[in-house]
Amino acid sequence: MSADTTPRTTNTAAALGRPNAVADRPDDHRRGFRHGWVGRVVTHLCLIVGVVLSIFPFYWLLVMSTSSNAQIFGYPPSLWFSDHTMQNLATVFGSVDMLRALGNTVLVSGATAVLVMLFDSLAAFAFAKYEFPFKRSLFTIMLATFLVPGSLSLVPSFVLMAHLGWIGGLQALIVPGAANAFGIFLLRQFATGSIPNEIIDSARVDGAGFFRTWWSIAVPMLRGGLAFLGIFTFISSWNDYVWPLIVLIDPKGQTLQVALASLSSVNATDLGSVMAGAVISVFPLIGVFIIGSRHFIANIAAGALKG
């Protein structure tokens, strides 16, 4: 009998318990790496294009604020800064009282944001963690106010401000916006998911009342939601135009958006000065967003790590 001397190929994949050895070939590894690298490049290119498209309008605003009308409407348009900045700023500050309008807007927006965070967090904490009569009915009525357009409340609000004698004063802008249903609903959702009932019960055992519990427990745990609500309220109040235009009858008490509207009507043909005024109104918003977003993002990151 002759022995079978034919060499047998060892099936490595079978020996290792793998059903298929095709995936272990070097060519497949290189192909998978190539596909992953191409996917990352495409993703980063899409992100870069999105960032450029988002930033370009603001960049073009800055370019126009430093240019004259001839440079703005020239062809081909210049995409770089010019030397007409001081002339545009001089026109802005010579046409309207920009510093007073800026101060009024900072006061109104800051006070409104602080009051909204205060009152909305108190109401949201009560709705989320406490039981009281007609709780569900009151919350449903509050949510129903979302269905009412804001323009419908302009006339009743104006009549109320007139009876109070607040027409022409900044309090007519601050007090009506001191609380809103959106902030209460937002913070209630935050409080429901982020504040454990056991902590509230422990505070009650220690003798803490409602306000002490709110200040010591709810406010630190709602920091992310409060930061978002503060930024949102500040920007909304800063950009408000219709209500200040109706209530502020004194030109010295104008807010920034009303002053910019009068600037564009006075200097309709001087687009560079109008864009310079718009840049002045945009920079404070960027600063507020940078400061507030740090707390908002940090709170989200901390919550993700705890989860």
Q: Which pLDDT value is given to residue 185? A: 92
User: Judging by beta carbons within 10 Å of its beta carbon (0-12, 13-18, 19+), is residue 175 exposed, middle or buried?
Assistant: middle
Q: Which pLDDT value is given to residue 268? A: 61
pLDDT digits (tens, 9 = 90+) for 95-135: 888 888 889 999 999 999 999 999 999 999 999 998 889 99
pLDDT digits (tens, 9 = 90+) for 137-179: 999 998 888 888 878 888 888 999 999 989 988 899 999 889 8
Q: How many CB atoms lie within 10 A of CB 43?
A: 10
Q: Which pLDDT value is given to residue 61? A: 86
Q: What is the mean pLDDT of residues 262-278?
A: 75
Residue positions counted in the chain: 307
Whether the per-residue pLDDT at 181 is higher than 80: the answer is yes
Query: What's the pTM?
Result: 0.78
Are 222 and 121 in contact, with CB atoms under 8 Å apart? yes
Q: What is the mean pLDDT of residues 63-73?
A: 81
Whether the per-residue pLDDT at 15 is higher than 50: the answer is no
**193-197, 208-212, 241-245: which range is least confident on average?**
193-197
Largest CA distance in the chain: 120
Greater confidence (54 vs 302) lies with 54
The share of the chain scoring above pLDDT 70, in percent, equals 82
Whether the per-residue pLDDT at 59 is higher than 90: the answer is no
Fill in the amino acid letter for 102. Answer: L
Whether the per-residue pLDDT at 12 is higher than 80: the answer is no
Whether the per-residue pLDDT at 34 is higher than 80: the answer is no
Which band of pLDDT confidence, cut at 50, 70 and 90, is reported for residue 33?
low
Which band of pLDDT confidence, cut at 50, 70 and 90, is reported for residue 6?
very low
Q: How many CB atoms lie within 10 A of CB 125?
A: 26
Q: Which pLDDT value is given to residue 39? A: 77
Write b or e for each residue in 202-241: b if 16 or more Cβ atoms lie within 10 A of its Cβ, otherwise e: ebeeeebeeeebbeebbbebbbbbbbbbbbbbbbbbbebe
Read off φ and ψ for residue 238, nearest 5 degrees: -65, -40
pLDDT digits (tens, 9 = 90+) for 214-266: 999 999 888 888 988 999 999 999 999 889 989 988 777 788 888 888 877 66
